[in-house]
Amino acid sequence: MKNFCICNMPTKTYENNKLPIFNSFAVNEVISKILGIKKFDCINLIHSYRQTNYLDKFLTQARELNLNLGKDLWIDSDNIENLKKTIKQLIADKKIVPREENVYVCECGIVEMVESAKNTRTPQNFYLDDGEPVCKYCNSKCTKVKRKILALNSKKLSFGDIKVFPTIYKKDIELKIKSILSNVLEVSKSRATVVKVEVDNQSFYVDNDIVWLCWIMSFGYKNVIITTSSHSLYHVALSYLLFRDKINLYYIVLPYYKNMITDVCKDINLSRYKILTWYNLDFKKKETTYNNQIINAINAFTLEQYDKCLEKTYLYPDLVGGVKGETENLFEYLSRMLRFGTNYFYMKNYLDKQNA
Ligand SMILES: [Zn+2]
């Protein structure tokens, strides 16, 4: 498959990374093997607040899970120049424009948003007191100031038929897209960020959350498959709006793991994590948990059975008698592969026949 790559929505690292954080890395490793395409394992270190860097801990954990990250690692903070180039292009394309707005700011600088956002945005850093925003971090009442900011220009953004698997998310994403287009979304900050740009002789700092979102443009591929979680649909909507006219985007939304108590993880043989994640995918659900039947079965594999299972997983088209889709639309092929290739009971059937 020419000019295709697969990547994950850049992942934040934590001191203790819960297992599901690694899910898209596991899934991408399997898909890149099946399709024979390049993968990028993307890490987000430049998010907006409380800068933390637990990369080493993250990578150590990934190794324990037998994930093959090393050579495909892409870290946003190592790619600032490239990201800046894309931001400049967005400005040149007038997708980002300067405009004068009333902006709420708090004393510590964490809250900084256009006036109209106080009622439309999910309050993350602020709460409303008597209808006025108050910063959750410094507890100061925000003051309103008129200033020039950079904002998305909805006139230059449009949407069409978004390619997302499973299709149950289509409506949710379209709602997010409509909400982005009907509100003012500021993309600049007054405090320093990693990218500073000049527009109309005025300099602006670009919000780090917009900077890392340009990650899909730094690979140089015309077709990019992106895996993400069902809790990141806002970023799906935003990346789609900004870049759909430049590259072909295909989204795979993984179900979100709920009730991730350590008891559940304790039962998982970590070296089998990759294959367990793949066969535990249940795309019919938006939220999921581990299926004990599948955990027990995969934990009980001998090493030989495990290797056979892995080998057959990578040869998905053989397993279901399909043909790798050269003439078929890629998205249809991908959807079929995710629907049937992740079915543990097909795999079990195959292995049982081998042992009979
Ligand atoms: Zn504050």
List, for residues 233-253, the tens digit of each pLDDT value: 999 999 999 999 999 999 999
Burial class (CB in 10 A: 0-12, 13-18, 19+), 169: buried
Distance from the alpha carbon of residue 140 to the mean position of ligand 1, in angstroms: 6
For residues 139 and 30, membership in a common domain is answered with no
Distance from the alpha carbon of residue 97 to the mean position of ligand 1, in angstroms: 26
Distance from the alpha carbon of residue 248 to the mean position of ligand 1, in angstroms: 39
Distance from the alpha carbon of residue 99 to the mean position of ligand 1, in angstroms: 24
Distance from the alpha carbon of residue 47 to the mean position of ligand 1, in angstroms: 17
For residues 221 and 240, membership in a common domain is answered with yes
Dihedral sign computed on CA atoms, order 214, 219, 220, 223: negative
Residues with CB under 5 A from ligand 1 (ion): 106, 108, 110, 135, 137-138
Distance from the alpha carbon of residue 142 to the mean position of ligand 1, in angstroms: 8
For residues 237 and 133, membership in a common domain is answered with no
Is residue 207 in some structural domain? yes
Q: Containing H/E element for 74?
A: strand 73-75
166-204 confidence digits (pLDDT tens): 999 999 999 999 999 999 999 999 889 999 999 999 999
Is residue 177 in some structural domain? no
Distance from the alpha carbon of residue 350 to the mean position of ligand 1, in angstroms: 58
What is the residue range of 235's domain? 4-80+213-355
Structure tokens at 160: 């069409």
Is residue 166 in some structural domain? no
For residues 101 and 69, membership in a common domain is answered with no
Q: Could you write out the three-class secondary structure of 264-296?
A: HHHCCCHHHHHHHHHHCCCCCCCEECCCHHHHH
- Bridge partners of residue 257, in order along the sequence: 288
For residues 349 and 280, membership in a common domain is answered with yes
Mean residue pLDDT of the chain comes to 90
Reported confidence tier of residue 53, pLDDT bands at 50, 70, 90: confident
CB 27 within 8 A of CB 254: yes
- Residues 299-337: b if buried by 16+ CB within 10 A, e if exposed: eebeeeebebbbebbbebeebeeeeebeeeebeebbbbb
For residues 14 and 140, membership in a common domain is answered with no
Distance from the alpha carbon of residue 179 to the mean position of ligand 1, in angstroms: 26
Please give the angle made by the CA atoms of 227, 232 and 236, to the nearest 5 degrees. Answer: 65
Going by C-alpha positions, the residue among 53, 27, 85, 55 that lies closest to residue 246 is 85
Reported confidence tier of residue 51, pLDDT bands at 50, 70, 90: low
Reported confidence tier of residue 322, pLDDT bands at 50, 70, 90: low
Residue 55 predicted with pLDDT over 80: yes
What is residue 316's predicted lDDT score, i.e. its pLDDT?
Answer: 81
Reported confidence tier of residue 330, pLDDT bands at 50, 70, 90: confident
Structure tokens at 235: 């970023």
pTM here is: 0.92
Largest CA distance in the chain: 76
